[in-house]
Structure 1
Amino acid sequence: MATTATAKKDNAKKSSARKYSPAASKSVETEMKAMKEGKLKSGRSGKKVTDPKQAIAIGLSKARKEGAKVPPEKS
């Protein structure tokens, strides 16, 4: 029983650190608004973005370029 309690504490410690900075959140928020308004275009092809996951990826990419605290891309 004691091992599950310590495991929960360890998980809480790991998740307590912010993964994304407020600046990164703001960047993603602006991209989501642009997508909902139909103004967000993808990079090379210039097609309209309709997938929220793609909008989030674009926002995080822009945040990385600005130097905000964002985890590195998965390769």
Structure 2
Amino acid sequence: MAKYSKGAQKKVAKVMREKKAGTLKSGRSGKKVTSRKQAIAIGLSEARKAEAKVPKKASKKRAAKKTARKRGRKAKSG
């Protein structure tokens, strides 16, 4: 089963085209987006607002556990 819906994929693709053209701006500051990761995050955020099928954002706790697991160590709980 697909992780992301077609609608979400289209949103991210549209945002990536905007980034490449140099017209993608960040939300609050209105600065030009140059980071690929930031552009993808903006696309996924827009897709979530449009109620497309997108996995939940990783919480800091879950992200820390995942990183620790990758490194072969136990994550600190707290």
Give the TM-score of the pair, scaled to structure 2. 0.73
Taking only the aligned residue pairs, the percentage that are identical comes to 63
SS of the aligned residue for 1:35 comes to helix
Residue deviations 1:15-59 (CA, integer Å, cap 9, x gap): xx2100010000000000000001000111111001111111100
Code of the aligned partner of 1:67: E
Q: Paired residues, what number? A: 59
Please tell me the root mean square deviation across aligned C-alpha atoms, in Å.
0.6
Unmatched 5+ stretches in structure 2: 60-78
Give the TM-score of the pair, scaled to structure 1. 0.76
Is 1:70 the counterpart of 2:39 in the alignment?
no
Is 1:60 the counterpart of 2:63 in the alignment?
no
The aligned residue for residue 27 of structure 1 is 11
More helix per residue: 1 or 2?
Answer: 1
User: How far has the Cα of 1:74 moved from its partner?
Assistant: 1.1
